[in-house]
Amino acid sequence: MARRMSASFPLVLALLATASVAAAQNGGTSPRLVTVNMVNVSATHYAFQPSQIAVHQGDTLRFVQTGAMPHNVQFVRSPVGTNLGAAQMGPFLTAAGQHYDLVIDGRFAIGVHDIVCTPHVSMGMTGSITVSGPIVGTR
């Protein structure tokens, strides 16, 4: 038994070393997936949950449709230097479980970006996304 353990020990060390090198090359962590649910709170109130979202450049936002009413996400105010192009307004999600992924990349300036669901802004479906730069030394 001791012989098997000692024979496998170098293999375990090699695997740990490979994982450590990969983590160091990636800055120690991977970009995060941040989920934002699009919910029907009541017949007259809709919301992004959470409505205050903090992300870093490199993260991915996933907007998930949880109800039956169509929802989307539109950026209505962004910091100077933001250039969202077609990402200014996302697609309408019409069925529960559908999602829209948005990578927070160089199009997003650091700062607060205000969002709304265009058909439900008057029913409270608003939020903000605070974008920070990548975490130095851990990203």
The model's pLDDT over 85-111, given as tens digits with 9 standing for 90+, comes to 999 999 999 999 999 999 999 999 999
One domain, residues 88 and 126: yes
- Same domain for 125 and 74: yes
Using only C-alpha atoms, the chain has a radius of gyration, in whole angstroms, of 21
Indicate if 55 and 109 belong to the same structural domain.
Answer: yes
Q: Are residue 122 and residue 91 in the same domain, yes or no? A: yes
- The burial class, CB within 10 Å (0-12 / 13-18 / 19+), for 71 is buried
Q: Which of 102, 64, 67, 65 is nearest to 86 (CA)?
A: 102
Judge whether 54 and 132 are in contact, CB under 8 Å.
Answer: yes
Task: Give 34-77 pLDDT, tens digit per residue.
Answer: 999 999 999 999 999 999 999 999 999 999 999 989 999 999 99
The answer to whether the predicted template modeling score (pTM) of the entire model surpasses 0.85 is: no
Number of domains in the chain: 2
* C-alpha span between 124 and 121 (Å, rounded): 5
Whole-number pLDDT of residue 12: 32
Residue 137 lies in a domain: no
Taking the CB of residue 81, how many other CB atoms lie within 10 A of it?
A: 11
117 versus 28: which is more confidently predicted?
Answer: 117
- Asked whether residue 14 falls in the same domain as residue 44, the answer is no
> Hey, is 88 helix, strand or coil?
helix
Evaluate whether residue 73 is within a structural domain. yes
Per-residue DSSP letters for 16-67?
A: HHHHHHHHHHTTTSPPPEEEEEEEEEETTEEEEESSEEEEETT-EEEEEE-S
Segment 3-45, tens digit of pLDDT: 444 444 333 333 333 333 333 334 446 799 999 999 999 999 9
